């Protein structure tokens, strides 16, 4: 029971300290994530094409 209480106290503290990001921050983060996903997708496609060419 003590662990559960500590978890809820910690969660409440995090919620009190955190803040909601503004639209500019959200858009910037979204762009960075989408570019990262695009790069990983292209890299995976290129590697799969190289492997398919070799075999």
Query: Based on C-alpha coordinates, what's the Rg of the chain?
Result: 21
Q: Model-level pTM greater than 0.85?
A: no
Give the C-alpha separation, 23 to 30, whole Å: 10
Q: What pLDDT tens digit does each residue of the chain (55 aa) get?
A: 788 999 999 999 999 888 888 999 999 999 999 999 999 999 999 999 999 999 8
Burial 18-40 (b: 16+ CB within 10 A, else e): eeeeeeeeeeeeeeeeeeeeeee
Give the 3-state secondary structure percentages of the chain, helix then strand then coil, rounded to 5: 85, 0, 15
């Amino acid at each position: 029971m003590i662990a559960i209480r500590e978890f809820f106290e910690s969660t409440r503290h995090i919620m009190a300290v955190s803040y909601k990001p503004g639209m500019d921050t959200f858009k910037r983060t979204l762009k960075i994530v989408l570019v990262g996903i695009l790069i990983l997708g292209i890299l995976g496609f290129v590697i799969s094409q190289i492997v398919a060419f070799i075999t």
